Amino acid sequence: MKDSRLSVYSFLSASPSARVSQSIDLGFGRSAALWSNGNDRMSYEQPDGHTFSLYLNGGAGTRRLDGSPAARGRPGALCVMPQGHSSEWEIADPFEFVHLYVPDDQMRRMFAETFDRDSRMMVLPEVTFADAPVLARALWQMTKAMSAGGYLLAEEAMMQTINDFFVDPRYGGMRARAISGGLAPHVRHRTLDYIEAHLGETIRLQDLAEIGQLSAFHFQRMFRASFGVSPHGWVAHRRVERAKSMLSGMEPIAQIASACGFSSQSHLTRAFKLGTGVTPSAYRQRR
């Protein structure tokens, strides 16, 4: 059954006081938005996806009703609202803030890819009004990118924010306890090596399952547990990443489509826009 929970963005969009001045689609469900709000009360009831929030201007009149009574927002304050958390906020004065939104499957995929760890080891706790200058710099870059229409800068800011969060021992990190199930490390590595070597070809689920000597059904379940996304989702991401790299050169887009395993240039265009928010032609021009 499809998850019917709303995202933090959807909750805010329903408020008559909250306004979006800038936004950017970062592909695969990831996005960022520059907001302003004031004289409001917001409740987030187990929202879908993870939200990173940085206060830009104002915020002294903002407090979390289910948190410390004395804690208040301020410019530079970081909040992290993980998927499924619940919180209630009172906003007495106008303020501006930037939000970065990342679906849970993409957060886990990025974690697994960046740190070569099982996605279930990911730790993403709630954070309220924290002083985190390193993370703040990356999210400030996001606001500059949105104002300038700079997709590449916004993409870099997203990656830097997530990486900095996980390597900061105060916030992110990895579970210390052992996990069961999923793919063994050597099977994970062999599977990813196979995918990279065959991105320009048809990749069948059965071929991947044979690497771990598993049934296709069992392999698919274990792959999602280990990487946060399905095998199809992982391959789609890697094909888009290869296309992005090739677009820095002069090869025709139709040739790039074939080299990355797409059936046609139009197939690449659809998948690329889903994965990045822009078309291959627009991406090449922005580079």
Q: What is the pLDDT of residue 98?
A: 98
274 and 194 within one domain: yes
Token duo for residue 142: 């996001």
Domain ends where: 114, 138, 167?
Answer: 167
The predicted-structure confidence for 53-86, as pLDDT tens digits, reads as follows: 999 999 999 999 998 888 999 999 999 999 999 9
CATH number of the domain that residue 24 is part of: 2.60.120.10
CATH number of the domain that residue 212 is part of: 1.10.10.60
223 and 192 within one domain: yes
255 and 156 within one domain: no
Domain assignment of residue 178, yes or no: no
35 and 147 within one domain: yes
Q: What is the pLDDT of residue 173?
A: 66
Domain assignment of residue 175, yes or no: no
Task: Please give the model's pTM, rounded to 2 decimal places.
Answer: 0.92
Look up tokens 């970081």; give the residue. Answer: 78
Q: What is the pLDDT of residue 2?
A: 46
Domain residue limits at 213: 185-286
**DSSP secondary structure of 218-264:** HHHHHHHHHHSS-HHHHHHHHHHHHHHHHTTS---HHHHHHHTT-SS
Give the Cα separation of 79 and 209 in Å (integer): 40
Domain assignment of residue 172, yes or no: no
Give the Cα separation of 27 and 113 in Å (integer): 17
What phi and psi, each to the nearest 5 degrees, are found at residue 23? -155, 160
Total number of domains constituting the chain: 2
Residue 207 burial (CB < 10 Å; 0-12/13-18/19+)? middle
- DSSP label at 178? -
Q: What is the pLDDT of residue 260?
A: 97
Per run of 10 residues, the mean pLDDT along the chain (length 287 residues) is 76 96 96 97 96 97 92 96 96 97 96 91 92 94 89 92 88 70 93 97 96 95 96 97 95 96 96 95 88
Q: How many residues does the chain have?
A: 287
104 and 61 within one domain: yes
158 and 211 within one domain: no
Q: What is the pLDDT of residue 131?
A: 94
Q: Element (H or E) spanning 6, and its range?
A: none
264 and 146 within one domain: no
Q: What is the pLDDT of residue 1?
A: 38
Give the Cα separation of 54 and 65 in Å (integer): 18
Domain ends where: 113, 138, 167?
Answer: 167
Domain assignment of residue 238, yes or no: yes
Q: What is the pLDDT of residue 172?
A: 67
144 and 191 within one domain: no
Q: What is the pLDDT of residue 168?
A: 85
Token duo for residue 234: 């992982």
